[in-house]
Each structure stands twice: as structure tokens, then as C-alpha cells.
Amino acid sequence: FPVVPEKKEDTQFAKKYLEKFYGFKEEKNSLFKAKNLNHMADKIREMQSFFGLEVTGELNHKTLDMMKQPRCGIPDIRS
């Protein structure tokens, strides 16, 4: 369904979700900001592909909604 404007806390929530279930690791050094964004977009694509969502790499409403569903705590990728 249509996208609602992305909120900062949504990005934080998504980062934690991707760390927990898709092995996302954020470079702490801010020099790698662009690299982080690409890496995060890759992980979003991986999660969208797993759940059969449209693979956009963007944190859209459908993707956020799926992240907020109650679920099992085990990662979705083999790690």
C-alpha cells in the first residue's frame, strides 16, 4: 500500500531488525556513511526478497509493516 513518510525512528527500527535477522553490520565510522546506506539497502533487498515483497531496497510502508509483524527471534539468513 502507499508509502507513509519515513520517520527517523523507522530507520533505527529497521537497522536493528536487519542486524538481528539479516546480519546487517553498520560501520560505526561516519566516513563510511554512503557505504552504510548501500549496505543497508542491500540488506533491505535481501529481506524484501525473502518475504516476496517488491525488491526496491527502499524502506517503504509494506517493508516496515512486515518488519513490525510479531515473529520468531531466529535470523532468516543462515548465519
Partner 1 sequence: YSTFPHSPKWKKEDVTYRILNYTPDMLQADVEEAIAKAFQLWSNVTPLRFTRLYSGQADIMISFAAGFHGDFYSFDGPGGTLAHAYPPGSDIGGDAHFDEDENWTKFTTYSGYNLFLVAAHELGHSLGLGHSNVLGALMYPIYMAKDTRDYQLHPDDIYGIQALYGSPRESPVLPTKAFPPQEPTEMTPAEVPTEMSPRQEPTETTPSKPPSRPEDCDPHLTFDAITTLRGETLFFKGSYVWRKSPYFVEIEHDTISSFWPSLIAGFDAAYEVDKTDRVLFFKDDQYWAVSGYSIESGFPKPIQNLGFPNSVRKIDAAVHDQNTRKTSFFVGNKYWSFNENTQSMERGYPRKIAADFQGIGHTVDAAFQKNGYFYFFHGSNQYEVDIKKKKVIRIMKSNSWFDC
Footprint of partner 1 (CB under 8 A): 1-2, 20-21, 49-55, 61-62, 65-66, 68-76, 78-79
Q: Quote the CA–CA distance of 63 and 79 in Å, as a whole number.
A: 22
**Contacts by 68-71 with C-beta closer than 8 Å and gap 24+?**
68/13
Of the pair 20, 39, the CB lying nearest partner 1 is at 20
Of the pair 31, 72, the CB lying nearest partner 1 is at 72
> What SS3 state is found at 6?
coil
* Shortest distance, position 48 Cβ to partner 1, whole Å: 9
